[in-house]
Structure 1
């Protein structure tokens, strides 16, 4: 039997994020992913996972750049410090939640920079 997981970033969007975890557990799933769990305190999220018998298997590094309204923070050489902070936060979440997969999406290319930068 395959082990399936629910992607809570895109499912049950009519519910608040914590309620999505509860819905996954109610349906009998054991594994979930949520690309952007950073709106929930990591310890609170771990307690929720434990209470529901769920395992978080994937998160993304937050590459959103609210200033530029883009999703390519990882590519912007002027935002290295901000990207480093986001990587560190992702590592904290991954370690606390025992997540084995941390995804980093590059986003759309920037026209104003050379790849060497």
Structure 2
């Protein structure tokens, strides 16, 4: 379980670094709409990553204790994505919808890169 906790910490750290980079991009570049869209999508993606990691941890604990669990929070994650898309469509002057969609995928990219880096280290 310690290896899983280390993986969670690494993924959250990289997401926070990415969020900081996007904030700097929104503050210091002329592409405000794009960076705000990426920022919105990445924040929701980070929230979804946090929910998924928490649910997987709970699932692992339930398997060890031979109990049942509810689910992996799919409805909550879809609702967060729907909310971000609705916000981007409602406030098109501030958010680029394509950037929001790309931002929603960032946690999966971080997971993939973390997996590849950890496999090459081992």
Q: TM-score interval w.r.t. the shorter chain? A: 0.3 to 0.5
**TM-score between the two structures when normalised by the length of structure 2:** 0.36
**TM-score between the two structures when normalised by the length of structure 1:** 0.37
Q: Tell me which protein shows more strand as a share of its residues.
A: 1
Higher relative contact order (CA 8 A, sep 6+): 2
